[in-house]
């Protein structure tokens, strides 16, 4: 995660794009970026290069504890009901509400209790105020504000350490004062509300694009370990996005995102093979981060020499993890710009990039691998943010960033912000891709298990005899004390052998891994459907039934996994006293045997037993498996 780095603008030096894989070298000269002549004359304020900076973000967590002397809006003998008080907080365009205060036999109806935490994300300077209002829900959508107040955020104390924050009482303006009922207001006590504020700095996790708690003191930041240089050279073979008088054309620009800075190149007007030749750099504080470069089509309409902008469209993007790059090496590579459409995946062109990460300290770079990924404040917090709060703050952060960058000159379109971030929504295609990714990670283990099963079943007796002879020979020759070091040494040899086949190029978007080339048209239509859906009832019913079927199978797999884990836990929980007694007796005997008998003898005997020929086997399940199947679990208590 990249803390707030200092500003480093883009440098512009003349460069000859190198299409080969040769290194650029340190002394290469970078010059001005190539621009279309029309770009220098018309609308440069909309198509020029720009550096965008993240605002300083702060997390305001407000704990709404309780209220006092809060009266309902309607009073009188004809209205007999328990008031439904809800506290609503609003900062800028974001508002959050608590649940209805539950009735209590120990509290008066005018002293409601909520005990709810509400989180907001704000940026400096603190110009907004916190609007506090207590509403009385009268049923349905009818609600009346019975008390309200306005608090300045600039008066809230910032928290830079983990000291405890106390709550405070704040006076509210009652509903009767708002409507001008002085007689009724004079007979009431002043309504109050108890709030607790926690204001501390947060930052965006560059690995997952989520909000995490970060330190406000610069002394707590990680040391800089290097500098990342990204050179956006040129594009080729772009698909035409508009029709001009002279033919088809595309006006494209690139956006690079990493850490706390975004860079936008100039827009090359009406070109299917644009050349940017712009270089940008960032400070690197952690290699476990990702840089994202996207290509976008500038959609505009010119009427009567007046620029009319429209939403920009994404042509394609590439995400590169810095830990896959070797230090002090230049990578010059073309990346395919792929876009997933309702009709399938399309190749929109190629983007030529040059990347280099320089290392300022090898010791600091290796030390980063032992440090926590998130800031220490995220772990030391008394009440860390849960997943719901993280999702809410991440949504607010993206809205704030989109609002801020849309006011820059040139503005950055909100659709560009959405495309550069990763959104996780339901997709049948992505679900299948994740499933086969999981199966691919354990494919090696599955292959080993199949091989051992073939050896154990004596499908090829010669291989089974040879394997058993090698196992017994190793157990007799290798001393007892070096069995475990020998296993670790074999892993070292395997790693050194695989060094020959290490990847030489940066991986790009994989169509087959994403199942983008084999997705069903209905699955793509479902993925691009709006939220809420706009499809017909029959299609929604079909997809819902399909989702229920898949969720039912997943539910069975999760239940079976929990069923197995509960059986292991029941071995020592004495839920079945006889089974626990037998298991403890077996553990005691196994401990004595492993202490008295060398480990190589145990492995040899176990290998002889498991690899015995089928002639000496019994078709009945083994006793250990029968014992495990009889252990109880919590599944019996489920409905």
Residue 150: inside a domain, yes or no? yes
- Indicate if 217 and 334 belong to the same structural domain: yes
Residue 353 has what pLDDT? 93
Q: Tell me the average pLDDT of the chain.
A: 78
- Indicate if 269 and 371 belong to the same structural domain: yes
- Indicate if 90 and 42 belong to the same structural domain: no
Q: Are 195 and 61 in contact, with CB atoms under 8 Å apart?
A: no
- Indicate if 48 and 62 belong to the same structural domain: no
- Indicate if 596 and 616 belong to the same structural domain: yes
Supply the CATH number for residue 388's domain: 2.60.40.150
Residue 466: inside a domain, yes or no? no
Matching residue, tokens 């209220």: 67
Q: Give the E-state strand segments of 413-516 in sequence order.
A: none
Query: Which comes out higher in pLDDT, residue 109 or 85?
Result: 85
Both tokens of residue 149?
């107040």
Of the candidates 118, 151, 150, 139, the residue with the CA atom closest to the CA atom of residue 73: 139
Residue 22 has what pLDDT? 35
- Indicate if 286 and 159 belong to the same structural domain: no
pLDDT at 190 over 80: yes
As a whole number of angstroms, the distance between CA 255 and CA 262 comes to: 7
Matching residue, tokens 């000291």: 163
Residue 449: inside a domain, yes or no? no
Q: Give the E-state strand segments of 102-225 in sequence order.
A: 113-123, 129-139, 142-152, 168-171, 173-174, 192-205, 210-213
Residue 124 has what pLDDT? 83
Residue 341: inside a domain, yes or no? yes
Kind and range of the H or E run holding 247:
strand 247-249
Residue 485 has what pLDDT? 78
- Indicate if 50 and 61 belong to the same structural domain: no
pLDDT at 396 over 50: yes
Residue 17: inside a domain, yes or no? no
The predicted-structure confidence for 551-596, as pLDDT tens digits, reads as follows: 888 888 788 888 888 888 888 888 888 888 888 999 999 888 888 8
Residue 4 has what pLDDT? 42
Which of 185, 204, 223 is the endpoint of a domain? Answer: 204
As a whole number of angstroms, the distance between CA 603 and CA 483 comes to: 11
As a whole number of angstroms, the distance between CA 9 and CA 618 comes to: 75
Residue 177: inside a domain, yes or no? yes
Residue 5: inside a domain, yes or no? no
Bridge partners (DSSP) listed for residue 129: 152
As a whole number of angstroms, the distance between CA 206 and CA 209 comes to: 5
- Indicate if 192 and 256 belong to the same structural domain: no
As a whole number of angstroms, the distance between CA 107 and CA 93 comes to: 34
Mean of pLDDT values over 304-311: 56
Kind and range of the H or E run holding 335:
strand 331-341
- Indicate if 85 and 217 belong to the same structural domain: no
Mean of pLDDT values over 183-187: 53
Q: Are 393 and 385 in contact, with CB atoms under 8 Å apart?
A: yes
Both tokens of residue 362?
């090898």
- Indicate if 345 and 219 belong to the same structural domain: yes
**Domain tally, the chain:** 3
Radius of gyration of the chain (CA): 32
Which of 420, 439, 459 is the endpoint of a domain? Answer: 420
As a whole number of angstroms, the distance between CA 113 and CA 334 comes to: 60
- Phi, psi angle pair for 194, to nearest 5°: -100, 120
Residue 379 has what pLDDT? 64
- Indicate if 350 and 214 belong to the same structural domain: yes
Return the number of other C-beta atoms located less than 10 Å from residue 122's C-beta: 23
What residues make up the domain containing 119?
57-204
- Indicate if 150 and 271 belong to the same structural domain: no
Say whether 81 sits in a helix, a strand or coil. coil
Mean of pLDDT values over 123-127: 84
pLDDT at 26 over 50: no
Chain-centroid distance, C-alpha 13: 36
Of the candidates 194, 170, 192, the residue with the CA atom closest to the CA atom of residue 71: 192
Residue 28 has what pLDDT? 37
As a whole number of angstroms, the distance between CA 633 and CA 571 comes to: 10
Residue 514 has what pLDDT? 80
Residue 432: inside a domain, yes or no? no
Which of 420, 436, 465 is the endpoint of a domain? Answer: 420
């Amino acid at each position: 995660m990249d803390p707030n780095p200092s500003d480093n603008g883009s440098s512009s030096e003349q460069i000859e794009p190198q299409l080969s894989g040769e290194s650029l070298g340190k002394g290469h000269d970078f010059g001005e970026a190539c621009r279309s002549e029309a770009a220098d004359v018309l609308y440069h304020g909309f198509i020029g290069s720009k550096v965008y900076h993240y605002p300083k973000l702060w997390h305001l967590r407000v704990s709404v504890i309780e209220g006092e002397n809060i009266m309902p809006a309607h009073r009188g003998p004809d209205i007999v009901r328990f008031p439904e008080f809800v506290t609503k907080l609003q900062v800028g365009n974001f508002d959050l509400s608590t649940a209805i205060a539950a009735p209590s036999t120990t509290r008066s109806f005018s002293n409601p209790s909520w005990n709810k935490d509400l989180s907001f994300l704000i940026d400096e300077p603190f110009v907004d105020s916190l609007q506090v209002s207590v509403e009385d829900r009268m049923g349905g959508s009818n609600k009346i504000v019975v008390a309200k107040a306005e608090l300045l955020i600039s008066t809230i104390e910032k928290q830079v350490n983990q000291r405890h924050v106390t709550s405070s009482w704040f006076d509210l303006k009652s509903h009767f004062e708002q409507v001008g009922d002085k007689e009724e207001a004079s007979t009431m006590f002043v309504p109050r509300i108890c709030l607790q504020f926690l204001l501390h700095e947060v930052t965006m996790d560059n690995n997952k694009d989520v909000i995490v708690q970060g330190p406000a003191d610069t002394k707590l930041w990680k040391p800089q370990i290097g500098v990342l240089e990204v050179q956006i050279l040129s594009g080729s073979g772009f698909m035409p996005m508009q029709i001009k008088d002279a033919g088809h054309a595309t006006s494209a620009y690139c956006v690079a995102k990493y850490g706390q800075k975004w860079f936008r190149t100039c827009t090359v007007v009406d070109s299917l093979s644009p050349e940017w030749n712009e270089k940008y750099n960032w400070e690197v504080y952690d290699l476990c981060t990702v840089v994202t470069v996207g290509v976008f089509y500038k959609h505009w309409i010119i009427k009567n020499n007046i620029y009319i902008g429209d939403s920009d469209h994404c042509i394609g993007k590439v995400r590169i993890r810095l830990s896959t790059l070797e230090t002090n090496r230049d990578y010059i590579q073309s990346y395919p710009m792929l876009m997933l459409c309702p009709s399938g995946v399309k190749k929109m062109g190629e983007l030529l990039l040059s990347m280099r990460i320089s290392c300022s300290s090898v010791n600091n770079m290796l030390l980063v691998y032992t440090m926590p990924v998130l800031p220490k404040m995220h772990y030391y917090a008394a009440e860390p943010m849960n997943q719901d709060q993280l999702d809410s703050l991440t949504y607010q952060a993206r809205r704030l960033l989109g609002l801020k960058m849309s006011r820059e000159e040139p503005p950055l379109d909100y659709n560009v912000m959405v495309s550069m971030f990763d959104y996780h929504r339901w997709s049948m295609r992505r679900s299948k891709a994740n499933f086969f990714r999981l199966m691919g990670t354990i494919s090696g283990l599955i292959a080993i298990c199949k091989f051992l099963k073939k050896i154990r079943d004596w499908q090829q007796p010669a291989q089974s005899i040879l394997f058993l002879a090698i196992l017994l020979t190793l157990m007799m020759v290798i001393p007892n004390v070096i069995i475990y070091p020998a296993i670790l040494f074999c892993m070292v040899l395997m790693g050194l052998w695989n060094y020959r086949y290490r990847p030489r190029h940066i991986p790009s978007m994989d169509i087959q891994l994403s199942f983008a080339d084999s997705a069903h048209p209905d699955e793509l239509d479902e993925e691009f459907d709006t939220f809420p859906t706009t499809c017909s009832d029959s299609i929604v019913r079909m997809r819902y039934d399909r989702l229920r079927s898949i969720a039912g199978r997943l539910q069975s797999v999760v239940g079976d996994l929990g069923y197995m884990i509960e059986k292991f836990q029941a071995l020592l929980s004495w839920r079945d006293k006889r089974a626990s007694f037998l298991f403890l007796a077996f553990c005691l005997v196994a401990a004595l045997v492993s202490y008295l008998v060398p480990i190589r003898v145990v492995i040899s005997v176990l290998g002889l037993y498991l690899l015995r020929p089928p002639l000496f086997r019994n078709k009945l399940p083994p006793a250990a498996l029968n014992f495990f199947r009889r252990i109880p679990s919590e599944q019996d208590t489920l409905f």
